Amino acid sequence: MDGKKCSVWMFLPLVFTLFTSSGLWIVYFIAVEDNKIIPLNVPDRKPGSKSPPYISIAGDAPPASCVFSQVMNMAAFLALVVAVLRFIQMKPKVLNPWLNVSGLIALCLTSFGMTLL
């Protein structure tokens, strides 16, 4: 390090990634426990017996759907925070501000889409 202090905010993208991926795996395990989907490690699948482990089927009925919606809402909020912080960080450094603004708008629309999901 060159004498600059590190901020705690630099871990936010890592927390975002870990939280979202672990939350989706929790939804998968809940759906397997409720016998909604067949686990990934079953070697012989009989055609038409049960659905493959799609996230849309795993998060289709409670309690997995409740956990899925909470995970997606929290992920959308964290993505919005990351987008705004990245916009503020890059604002004085960019030569073309339209690219920074368009990235912020795209991530805000993505976060809004995640809340609708």
**Whole-number Å distance between alpha carbons of 72 and 114:** 6
Greatest Cα pair distance in the chain: 62
Residue-level pLDDT at 87:
94
**Whole-number Å distance between alpha carbons of 27 and 71:** 9
pLDDT tens digits for the chain (117 residues)?
A: 455 778 888 899 999 999 999 999 999 899 889 888 878 777 766 666 665 667 777 778 889 889 999 999 999 999 999 999 999 999 999 888 999 999 999 999 999 999 998
Instruction: Give yes or no for a contact between 45 and 38, defined as CB atoms under 8 angstroms apart.
Output: yes
**Whole-number Å distance between alpha carbons of 104 and 112:** 12
Q: Which of 72, 71, 62 lies closest to 112, judged by CA?
A: 72
Residue-level pLDDT at 47:
65
